[in-house]
Amino acid sequence: MRSGGVHGLGRERCLPLVPLAARIVNPIVWVLPGHAVHKLEQFALAEHGSLLDMTAAANRCEDPDRAAAYLRHALDEGRHSQMFVRRARELAQEQGRPRPGRVRADTEHLFQTLGEVDFLAFVHRGESTGRQQFESYQQWFRSRGDVRTEQLFKALVHDELRHEAYSLELLTDLVPAEQVSAAFRKMWMRDLWHGWLRLGRPISHGVYLAGMLLLYPLLWPFALWVRVVRPRRSGW
């Protein structure tokens, strides 16, 4: 799973921030009406985004063994995305809400922009973050007696552990230990920067929308003018 969560440097040095944050917000995000469906959809989207990045890595990596490893990972992410969508649809149906449609993620072309070493460090960190989150959710749903959702997260945790292990293994095979640490530091900084950007995006969007809505009523003279000089045309 791709994640931009802020936490430690690699699996062995992870700070317990992610499970802690997850435990704090679980009672809110999973219980609010309709929010569980939305949350599962968001996970499906993240998994689909990860599928795109892993597929690009499989296509661009020259080594066939590593390409095969990336392709396997991509296929897992595709399967995870579908699992989330299926569960979201089940929940939506149970709650009488609109069924989620097909997810459609975007890609930042991470393999290309980061290079293979940093990409592997990014993947390892993302998998580690995802695994910790999912473990927390698994416990939450177990405590609520929701076996189906618990089993969903259990299956995902199993795969995330495998992804964590292989990505670290490939990384340590590719470069010496000091470069591995450097890559983790770089990705940690990247996560911080992207976290800041993510925080800023809705704020700037809100400011823009508010500004435009204030501006909009001032357009009425132009609206009248356009109707006179450029009326709607019908026919040839």
Partner 1 sequence: MSAVLGVSAYYHDAAAALVVDGQVIAAMQEERFTRIKNDASLPFHAAEACLSVAGLNADDLDEVVFYENPYSKLERVLISNLRTFPMSWKQFPLALGAQLGTKLWVLDQLAEGLGVPRAKVGFRSHHESHAASAFLPSPFEEAAVLTVDGVGEHDTTVMWRGQGSELTALGSLEYPHSLGLLYAGLTAYCGFMVNEGEYKVMGLSSFGQPRFREQFDKLIRLSADGSFELGLEYFAYMTDPALGFGPKLEQLLGPRRPVGRPWDLDSAEDRRFADVAATLQQVTEEALLGLCAELRRQTDASALCLAGGVALNAVANARLLRDSGFDRIWVQPAAGDAGAALGAAMLGSVALGDGRTQLDTMALGTAIDAGRGQAVARSLGLVAERVDQPANVAAELLGRERIVAVANGRFEFGPRALGQRSLLANPAGAQTRDHLNRLVKHREPFRPFAPAVLADRTPAWFDGEENDMTPYMTTVLDVRADKRDELRAVTHVDGTARLQTVRQPASMMRGVLESLERRTGSPVVLNTSLNGPGEPICATETDALGFFVAHRVDALLLDDVLVTRP
CB of 144 to partner 1, least distance (A): 26
Determine if 209 is a binding residue for partner 1 (CB under 8 A): yes
How far apart are alpha carbons 36 and 130 in whole angstroms?
A: 17
In sign, the C-alpha dihedral spanning 3, 4, 5, 10 is: positive
How far apart are alpha carbons 150 and 44 in whole angstroms?
A: 16
Select from 1, 44, 46, 58 the one that contacts partner 1 (CB under 8 A).
58
End-to-end CA separation in angstroms for the chain = 54
Size of the site for partner 1 (CB under 8 A): 46
Alpha carbon 69 to its chain centroid, in Å, reads 20
Alpha carbon 48 to its chain centroid, in Å, reads 8
Contacts (CB under 8 A) with partner 1, residues 83-142: 89, 98-102, 104-107, 109
CB of 222 to partner 1, least distance (A): 5
Determine if 24 is a binding residue for partner 1 (CB under 8 A): no
Select from 23, 38, 72, 186 the one that contacts partner 1 (CB under 8 A).
72
How open is the CA angle 118-124-129, to the nearest 5 degrees? Answer: 125
Alpha carbon 17 to its chain centroid, in Å, reads 18
Select from 52, 83, 120, 152 the one that contacts partner 1 (CB under 8 A).
52
Looking up tokens 């992207």 gives 194
Determine if 29 is a binding residue for partner 1 (CB under 8 A): no
Residues that bind partner 1 (CB under 8 A): 51-52, 55-56, 58-59, 64-65, 67-69, 71-72, 74-75, 78-79, 89, 98-102, 104-107, 109, 208-209, 212-213, 216-217, 219-220, 222-223, 226-227, 230, 232-236
